[in-house]
A and B are shown apart, each in its own frame.
Chain A
Amino acid sequence: MTKKFRLRLFLIITLLALSFPALAGRTLALTHRQREEKLPSPTQKNTSQTTTPITLKRAWEIVNAEAQNWQRSARVVSLHSIDHPNDSSASGQSGQRRAWQAVILSGSGAKTERVITLVDGLIQDDIQQSTGSEERLALEQPQIDSPEALQRALKFRPAFAPEEGKGQGFHFMLGRSSDTPVVTVRGSRGNLPAIIRMDASNGTLHEAKAMGFEAGGILYSRDAGQTWHASDLTDKMIMAVIPDPTTPGQVYAVGTQNQQIIVYRTQNGGKNWAYFGSLPKSAGDWPFDLEATMDSSGKVHLLVGTWSGVWSSMDGKQWISLSGLPEGPKQWLAVAHSPQGGRLFVSVTAGEKPGVYASEDFSNWSQLTPEPLRLSKSFDAQTVLATNEQSTASAWLLSSKGETQIELEEPILRAAGDFDSDIFAVQSTQQGTGYCSDREKTWTLSVPVASLAASTSFSEDRVIVAGGFRTGIYRSSDAGQTWDTVLSNPAQVVPGSNEIYDLAFLSGETVIAVNGSTLTWEDF
């Protein structure tokens, strides 16, 4: 062999090695697709402009035939429609869908599964992977097909609507519920998914459920986060809390219940709560965030960020939607206070004009950044740190006087402490939670964290509380250099998910924590 030949051979082998993973996967997929059968050739893709949506029964026939061709004892254990890129909220109205996904398990003691995707009645994707053995019963052909199932579902629950979210339109599933074969139609109730299940043999209603929440609520501490107690606001989906800027011991909480946004208030530092007011139906049913600010006359305005706008009220009864902001979710709010009044910052995280907007009078807005940023407040609520969780390039220090662009070494999710003096605890997007000063940065808390808050006396006591994500509550008395686990299982105090959605210090001693709710399916 000549030297040139050896070099060329080396380049070819390198090229082959680089493309091997994709080639191997493709070969594996093709192996299962090229079989003789009476169905249309599974390797054909529908290249014409016509679409061929199919029903649940037809989808079952196709995948069941594929299972029998593969192995005699193979069985279909999962079958449901999925979205095609061209689908919309109008899809599925006829009981037919273009795209379906099924799982076939190999014979008894199954260790191999095939995930098959059908588009227009043809197998478009077929991926095989090892799986654990588990008892998954075969799904037999349903007697009720998807068009009839949809008609029955709409009769059972007239408020049942197409889905617009992670799914588009009406979707159909074949499965089991308590060992009974069922056909399920998925749509929505309000803005959350809803499902109507019926007996696959005769169409009788099995259950109608909508996504909801259970458990969750508020805990409070009277010793700066060292010990925690249950409030009487429990079994509620609370998203955020905010202290009243003028009245000690008074705090507001916002949540969602029965498809409405509700505000609660405590006047004794978090122990006892009462209903304060509800937002109008036009505000929607999801509160992202809550703030409170004082105007120049000393009146307090509550602010709730929603999909429909930022809603403001002074009494919980009369609410107005602030004008001047672009369309889109007002996901994060923060107020930088001053004796003359507060400056409100709103992070619009989607839509045609996302970004951070600022206003002193709630009607005239200036766009500070064209990208949405997370907002963290300083211990004295006079400074706001606005950060891009995926980039260090865009970070701002915001106050009632103005804004300064700053440089960070890490992308930041949240921070708490004294931003003006450069001493604070920070949760990096990638590294964890730790201590930051102008001289050093160390990562000191590796558990997943969901919230951070600094004591209102932080400049003296350096106390920070970190709310965990399915872990516990942690406390530092040195601005995040070291941590103590003060509550390893918040659900033992207030049942919930142990995802601490929000924290707020009312004073150097009193702290409020929100234990998030868990997802459930409630009767519809």
Chain B
Amino acid sequence: MFEKKWLHRLLLVIALMLLSLGSFTAAYAGTYSGWFTGYAMGNQYGGAGVEISQGHFANHYVYSCPGDPAAHWNWGTQITTPWIGMQDQAGRYFSRNLFYLYDVGDFSCSQGNYWVDIYFGRYRYSGESCNCPGVPNPGYCYTGNTNSCTQAINFGRSWKTYSQP
């Protein structure tokens, strides 16, 4: 008898907690799959006019790739991806899985719908060039203890699933 009451109360508490999640459960409402590539260095400002930094990503621009539904996503759109490792200016490794849309690329729409281009940073060792494929060279760089372009190239291209609120 005591056990039954206890279980029912516990179930009620859990139900209330789940109901209070509200918008957070909605955070995983859209799930997509597409090619992930990486880029680095390049322009100081991305397509949104915001200084591009780690934590940002690019995708297709609506005007050049109208057939990609993701091309219609607004600036600032947040996506949750598998964990992606990168190095900070000091060369320390860290990972993140939240990225924000502030740039555009692949104007010929060659990489398919829901393509994501992760920005790996603008750091280079002292004396190195600020060059990287796919972006204007030389770009806008800071000196640090890593080379962001090397990280972007090593990231390569992979098919990943991600979500958007």
CA distance A175 to B53 in the complex (A): 13
- Of the candidates A82, A329, A498, the one whose C-beta lies within 8 Å of that of B75 is A82
Q: B77-105 toward A: CB 8 Å interface, digit per residue (1/0)?
A: 01000000011111010111110110011
- Answer whether residue A451 sits at the interface, using C-beta atoms and an 8 A cutoff: yes
In the complex with contacts A214-B136, A450-B110, A519-B47, A133-B7 CB distance below 8 A = no
CA distance A173 to B44 in the complex (A): 15
Q: For residue B17, which residues in chain A have a CB less than 8 angstroms away from its CB? A: 19, 23
Q: Is B10 within 8 A of A12, CB to CB?
A: yes
Q: Is A166 within 8 A of B62, CB to CB?
A: yes
Q: How far is the CB of B130 from chain A (nearest CB, A)?
A: 13
- Answer whether residue A316 sits at the interface, using C-beta atoms and an 8 A cutoff: no
Closest B residue to A331 using CB positions:
B67
Closest A residue to B91 using CB positions:
A132
Closest B residue to A517 using CB positions:
B107
Q: Is B66 within 8 A of A329, CB to CB?
A: yes
Q: How far is the CB of A63 from chain B (nearest CB, A)?
A: 14
Q: How far is the CB of B2 from chain A (nearest CB, A)?
A: 10
Q: How far is the CB of A257 from chain B (nearest CB, A)?
A: 14
- Answer whether residue A429 sits at the interface, using C-beta atoms and an 8 A cutoff: yes
Q: How far is the CB of A457 from chain B (nearest CB, A)?
A: 26
Q: Is B104 within 8 A of A349, CB to CB?
A: no
Q: For residue A176, which residues in chain B have a CB less than 8 angstroms away from its CB? A: 51
Q: How large is the interface on B (under 10, 10 to 19, 20 to 34, 35 or more residues)?
A: 35 or more
Q: Which B40-89 residues sit within 8 Å CB-CB of chain A?
A: 42-43, 45, 47-51, 53-55, 61-67, 72-76, 78, 86-89
Q: Is A470 within 8 A of B94, CB to CB?
A: no
For the residues of B in contact with A, the DSSP-based class is loop
Q: Is B108 within 8 A of A516, CB to CB?
A: yes
Q: Which B91-132 residues sit within 8 Å CB-CB of chain A?
A: 92, 94-98, 100-101, 104-113, 121
In the complex with contacts A329-B66, A469-B110, A519-B105 CB distance below 8 A = yes
Closest B residue to A176 using CB positions:
B51
CA distance A413 to B49 in the complex (A): 31
Q: Is A80 within 8 A of B50, CB to CB?
A: yes
Q: Is A491 within 8 A of B54, CB to CB?
A: no
Q: B137-158 toward A: CB 8 Å interface, digit per residue (1/0)?
A: 1000010000000000000010
Q: How far is the CB of A232 from chain B (nearest CB, A)?
A: 22
Q: A505-524 toward B: CB 8 Å interface, digit per residue (1/0)?
A: 00000000000111111000
In the complex with contacts A5-B7, A130-B95, A450-B108, A165-B133 CB distance below 8 A = no
Q: Is A350 within 8 A of B67, CB to CB?
A: yes
Q: Is A5 within 8 A of B3, CB to CB?
A: yes
Q: Is B24 within 8 A of A129, CB to CB?
A: no
CA distance A447 to B92 in the complex (A): 28
Q: How far is the CB of A331 from chain B (nearest CB, A)?
A: 6
- Answer whether residue A390 sits at the interface, using C-beta atoms and an 8 A cutoff: yes
In the complex with contacts A195-B49, A286-B64, A498-B96 CB distance below 8 A = no
Q: How far is the CB of B115 from chain A (nearest CB, A)?
A: 10
Q: For residue A493, which residues in chain B have a CB less than 8 angstroms away from its CB? A: none
Q: Is A133 within 8 A of B90, CB to CB?
A: yes
Q: For residue B27, which residues in chain A have a CB less than 8 angstroms away from its CB? A: 22, 25
Q: For residue B95, which residues in chain A have a CB less than 8 angstroms away from its CB? A: 130
- Of the candidates B21, B47, B49, the one whose C-beta lies within 8 Å of that of A23 is B21
CA distance A502 to B92 in the complex (A): 40
The interface centre, meaning the residue of A19, A166, A501 with most chain B CB atoms within 10 A of its CB, is A166
Q: Is A191 within 8 A of B63, CB to CB?
A: yes
Q: For residue B49, which residues in chain A have a CB less than 8 angstroms away from its CB? A: 171, 173, 184, 186, 193, 195
In the complex with contacts A22-B21, A173-B49, A519-B105, A470-B73 CB distance below 8 A = no
CA distance A523 to B83 in the complex (A): 38
Q: For residue A331, which residues in chain B have a CB less than 8 angstroms away from its CB? A: 65-67, 109
Kindly list 10 other residue pairs between chains A and B, CB separation below 8 angstroms, not including A2-B3, A171-B75. Answer: A25-B24, A131-B88, A132-B92, A135-B142, A166-B47, A175-B50, A213-B107, A448-B35, A470-B133, A517-B107
**A–B Cβ pairs within 8 angstroms, 16 of them:** A26-B20, A82-B76, A113-B55, A131-B88, A132-B86, A132-B87, A132-B94, A136-B53, A166-B61, A166-B72, A167-B48, A167-B74, A186-B49, A430-B33, A448-B35, A450-B111
Query: When A and B form their complex, which 7 residue pairs have the shortest distance between CB atoms, in order from nearest?
Result: A132-B88, A349-B67, A82-B76, A450-B110, A470-B133, A195-B49, A501-B108
